[in-house]
Structure 1
């Protein structure tokens, strides 16, 4: 019986992981400056998750951030259009997956700056990542990811 229970539990965990993965859109557009290598690394990270990424590096990022509704002062080096949402900066996949699983009524989520240890940024996480949700240049807490 224990073996059967372990098999069922393992299957359920695998199904849950597949469901979470399936929640992500197949495509994304990443807007960035041409010289930013960490943005390219974030794009590769998304591609490893099964998302096809189109990189646009010949656009005024300020205009894209305004169109997305990113609050002033909470921007990062890149902005991503993914499904019906915007992703601002080096947001860890745990938060991106939660966004698409829960589908809250927001324009997107973001992580200000370029925190060490996030996808595309080298080094270990040394402090909590405060991911925010935003709509119309207004923000609210979305989730905190502890080190």
Structure 2
């Protein structure tokens, strides 16, 4: 009897896993506001943390189109990212630039509020930002910047 119950439990678990493989992929924490929003990302093909940020954005519900390129600097320059706010990858969404490891919640807020700005940046490579995920507890700021050189703290994490 015990063997039958164990076998039944194993089969039930296998069926659930098999069914999940065919279910639509929409994480439970995905924001419906991100659905249909395409984020276009330019990054180095060898950058693992950039890939982590891409996965973070996808998990939030964004559609992500990745451009693997060897030199991202020309994209940053053409997009108006000040050198002081640079990071490892550059993205565009909804007419804004997103530089570096900016959390999806901040991108969603940007798209909802639609401020007059060029975009957002998480300058450098903050240890605990999405994609970096080092768990150091080190705070970091996300900066809202404009084409005129203005910049202010948009969010603190």
Q: For the superposition of Structure 1 and Structure 2, which TM-score range results when normalised by the shorter chain? A: 0.7 to 0.9
After TM superposition, give the deviation of residue 24 of structure 1 in Å. Answer: 6.6
Say if 1:71 and 1:139, in contact at 8 Å, map to a contact too. Answer: no
Report how far residue 93 of structure 1 moved.
Answer: 2.1
1:73 to 80, 84, 87: 84
How far 1:48 moved relative to its partner? 0.9
- For the 8 Å contact 1:40–1:120, the answer to whether it is kept is yes
Contact 2:88 2:124 in 1 (8 A): yes
3-state SS, counterpart of residue 138 of structure 1: coil
Greater radius of gyration (CA): 2
Which whole-Å CA distance do the structure 2 matches of 1:118 and 1:140 have between them?
Answer: 19
Q: For the residues of structure 2 that align with 1:62 and 1:42, how far apart are their CA atoms?
A: 18
Equivalence for 2:110: 99
User: Does 1:132 pair with 2:143?
Assistant: yes
Alpha-carbon spacing, 1:108–1:25, altered in 2? closer, same or farther (3 Å): farther
Equivalent of 2:44, from 33, 41, 47? 33
- Are the structure 2 counterparts of residues 73 and 24 from structure 1 closer, same or farther at C-alpha, using a change threshold of 3 Å? farther
Structure 1 unaligned segments of length 5 or more: list them: 1-16
- Structure 2 equivalent of residue 45 of structure 1: 56
2:133 counterpart of 1:122:
yes
RMSD over equivalenced CA pairs, Å: 2.2
Say how many residue pairs are matched: 129
1:90 matched residue in structure 2: 101
Q: CA deviation at 1:118?
A: 1.0
